[in-house]
Structure 1
């Protein structure tokens, strides 16, 4: 029995297919974290969930008139494979950095609202929705973080710190709206 190949090379052409297919393909490959080798040719690790998603995408592409080739491959040079893994991690670190860059706005908003004495249930709901968007965003990045990009841990910790700050804000809102509660 031969070992499972480590990588998938995916080559796609949407020429002659509906224009919307190009966007669908791009979005799906982007959501999987594909590393483009050149235009319309990308590389992905051959992990079971990735293989399954590529099979589904292949069916959609062919059904809508596009062409696709999916090839299994292994690297002959371990250094080259490590360079590709580094490229994957760099891409994920960039995404995690964006989370880390935007998260302080949520935390500052909580601090500002509390300083203004505006700890209300409405503010809690709004901030919970913001926090959920960050968690969802982080989940999407983590799903394509195949090799444990270094910035992932800091991003997860920062989101949890924001969650703790939101919990404290919620306590303040509860006390503000129910001054006699908890006594």
Structure 2
């Protein structure tokens, strides 16, 4: 395991649009909330860069942010956190596989959703390549 990044932040309650902005960014990255304002992501060069940018944006929004590198030393279930990331992305992949079975599937929109899911696939789900293969096959069949 390559470790974790923790973003701990505090942002003024009003206007609420600031809090929503931060929440949406974290969700786009696939971060998981450990507590109200403590979010975690697997440590990769990309997630580190993205969280550093977000921490700077939080500061610009008159908030405070700290970005931590962490190693999990103890947990009741040591694999639970990793499993949360896997389950989330696999649910997205399963939705895509179902959508690809529809004759009226919007391949452009599904490709975009696949690319977004792939960015959050931190533990290389075996469903990812399956979705990619089906997208390619559907694309070939429409030519």
TM over 0.5: yes
TM bucket (normalised to shorter chain) is 0.7 to 0.9
Q: Offset of 1:155 from its aligned partner?
A: 1.5
Q: TM-score, normalised by structure 1?
A: 0.69
Choose the corresponding residue for 2:111, options 131, 135, 143.
Answer: 135
* Count of aligned pairs between the two proteins: 142
Partner of residue 20, structure 1: 17
Unaligned ranges ≥5, structure 2? none
Pairing 1:29-108 to 2, within 5 Å after superposition: 29-77=26-74, 80-105=77-102, 108=103
Q: Offset of 1:79 from its aligned partner?
A: 8.4
Unaligned ranges ≥5, structure 1? 110-126, 168-183
Please give the alpha-carbon distance, in whole angstroms, between the structure 2 residues aligned to 1:78 and 1:12.
Answer: 23
The range that moved more, 42-51 or 153-162, is: 153-162
Choose the corresponding residue for 1:144, options 115, 120, 124.
Answer: 120
RMSD (CA atoms): 2.1
Please give the alpha-carbon distance, in whole angstroms, between the structure 2 residues aligned to 1:97 and 1:40.
Answer: 29
Greater C-alpha radius of gyration: 1
Q: TM-score, normalised by structure 2?
A: 0.87
Q: Offset of 1:96 from its aligned partner?
A: 0.8
Structure 1 or 2: more helix by fraction: 1
Please give the alpha-carbon distance, in whole angstroms, between the structure 2 residues aligned to 1:43 and 1:58.
Answer: 13
C-alpha change, 1:80 and 1:8, in structure 2 (3 Å) is farther
